[in-house]
Structure 1
Amino acid sequence: MSAIDLKSEDDLLSDAVGDLASRTGLPVAFGGFEREGAIDVTAVVGNRTPHLASLVVKPTRGLGGRAFVERRPRLALDYRSSRNITHDYDRAVLGEGISTLFAVPILVAGKARGVIYCGAWSRSPFGESAARSALQIAADLATELRVRDEVGRRLQLASTPEAAAPVLDVVIREELREAYAELRRIGAEVADAGIRRRLADIEQRLATLSRDGSAPIEHLDVRLSRRETDVLACAALGQTNAEIAATLSLREGTVKSYLQAAMAKLDAGTRHAAVTKARRAGLLP
């Protein structure tokens, strides 16, 4: 079984730090993940000196360490004179010449996984627009990490030797289908078009991996809307209308309407028949 190519955590972080500098308009951005009890800064853009490279921040210490343990953003408009933080990392921050610094924790399922920072070399006004952009970038990065974690966890089952019992193939297929439905739910909550495209690519690969190779694809002239597919993917897991509504944050009546529309398009009399036809047509895993 082929693996799904996923960006590494460090690559995702580098992308986020680059976006942070371009979208906030602040010249310096950097960040790192928590590893072995400390935040290891591995991504830096816009720096004029090497001081920020390989910076290691302990939780509770400095602006970023405080943001990490408090799980909320922290701002220092004048870093040098700030009395609200420890100054363990003055050599790195002031050595770079940073005056204004904003630190945002990366929260995945409520747990801090790291911190991203953006800053300016002179004391600068820090507006709502820049703060909102930084918070959104941190949230988008957290979503990508969450997706990566979930896909990785599910696909570990796929590494089982091919000599395993056929029953195991069924279990793996169902696990992948659950991951597919979960990714569609997450994708519905993401505003960033680029992330949605990457999620759609992973969804397609999961669908391919979970497809029963013995069943031929039937070419049907059917197109389901995104929400019709979301609802049908949940129905495929055996969820009731009420459970689907709770999963997708929809009204139960809306779920029923989407299901009926999908059944009509697939010319199916029941949801089970609709799921079967959608799978045969390659519309569902």
Structure 2
Amino acid sequence: MTADAVEAVEMRAALLRLRRATGLPVAFGGLTSGSDRMRIAELSGAATDALRGLAVAAGNGLGGKSLALARACAVTDYQGSQHISHEYDAAVTAEGLRSVLAVPVVVRRRVRGVLYGALRSARPLGDRTLDAAVSAARDVEQALVVRDEARALLAAARVPRAGGGGVWEEVREAHGALRALAPKIVDPALRAELLAVCGRLAGAGAGAVVTTVPGASVEREVAVRLTTREVDVLTCVAAGVTNAVAAERLGVRPETVKGYLRSAMRKLGVHTRGEAVVAARRAGLLP
């Protein structure tokens, strides 16, 4: 899935959340194509396509005002408002919109898009409606931050480097960061790519991808298979964090972390946290 497609999915989900949370019948929005212009690409609840593809310049109309000021703006009667310019009245009128709010999507102090919500009647939009719209915009912001971080980590992980202890610490930090990001990624293709890179990072320093089964007449080598969550927990353990911190990072209870850790240790045939990390690295499960 391309970056544009991922952004479209995130925007559509945010518009649905905005409508459900506010009760507004219409929501629309888009992301910026440059520092001073955004294009309305997604519509939810619209009766026409009048707004689709509309290019909004910073400072123009309600959305352009929100884009320029990097803050939420609202009008009770769009066509009659004296607080905005009216370059887009034709499209707004064609859709039959009267009360409209616009909320910017701001990532690292840069406006990356605008979400709109609207009524087809001229009624004031209260604080609860505005707060719900702002919350939907925050969801898009978080999704964009996660995606940007994931892309940066993927790019860094692909850069070949010479060997050395310092480099392996960087690899391990990148591996831990990628595994922490993976559960937050909505796009399944990007999440799968993150986990695949994690696997390559883990396997790159493996001395062996097998372990032995003691007690057999002839010890035989078998592949160690851990679940995704067991590897996530071992990644946290390798970073030196407590079970409580690992639970917070993974969004589970500390008791759940203990359960995953016990299961991983049993599969690896070890008895301590430190031994588990060493065995996982030898098995190619951790870098």
Normalised to the residue count of structure 1, the TM-score between the two structures is 0.68
Q: Is the 8 A contact 1:157 1:172 kept in 2?
A: no
Larger Rg: 2
Show the counterpart of 2:201. 210
Q: CA deviation at 1:180?
A: 2.2
Q: Distance in 2 between matches of 1:73 and 1:93?
A: 18
In the TM superposition, 1:156-167 aligns within 5 A as: 156-159=155-158, 167=163
Q: Percent identity?
A: 28
Q: CA deviation at 1:121?
A: 1.0
Show the counterpart of 2:39. 40
Show the counterpart of 1:72. 71
Q: CA deviation at 1:204?
A: 4.2
Q: Distance in 1 between matches of 2:187 and 2:7?
A: 18
Q: CA deviation at 1:134?
A: 2.0
Q: Distance in 2 between matches of 1:217 and 1:123?
A: 69
After superposition, the Cα gap between the structure-2 partners of 1:18 and 1:124, relative to the gap in structure 1 and judged at 3 Å, is same
| Equivalent of residue 13 in structure 1, options 11, 14, 25 | 11
Unaligned runs of 5+ in 2: 212-222
Q: CA deviation at 1:198?
A: 9.7
Root mean square deviation, CA, Å: 4.4
Q: Distance in 2 between matches of 1:130 and 1:274?
A: 51
Deviation beyond 4 Å, 4+ runs, structure 1: 4-7, 168-172, 194-206, 217-226, 232-235, 258-271, 277-285
After superposition, the Cα gap between the structure-2 partners of 1:200 and 1:42, relative to the gap in structure 1 and judged at 3 Å, is closer
Q: How many pairs were matched up?
A: 261
Q: Is the 8 A contact 1:158 1:172 kept in 2?
A: no
Q: Distance in 2 between matches of 1:181 and 1:107?
A: 25
Show the counterpart of 1:190. none
Q: Distance in 2 between matches of 1:223 and 1:121?
A: 51
Q: Distance in 2 between matches of 1:72 and 1:50?
A: 26
Show the counterpart of 2:138. 139
1:150-188 residue CA offsets vs partner (Å, 9 max, x unmatched): 11122224555xxx566399588446315326527x95x
In the TM superposition, 1:83-94 aligns within 5 A as: 83-94=82-93
Q: CA deviation at 1:52?
A: 0.5
Show the counterpart of 2:56. 57
Show the counterpart of 2:216. none
Show the counterpart of 2:215. none
Normalised to the residue count of structure 2, the TM-score between the two structures is 0.67
Q: Distance in 1 between matches of 2:13 and 2:155?
A: 26
After superposition, the Cα gap between the structure-2 partners of 1:75 and 1:96, relative to the gap in structure 1 and judged at 3 Å, is same
Q: Is the 8 A contact 2:203 2:286 kept in 1?
A: no
Q: 3-state DSSP class of the match of 2:178?
A: helix
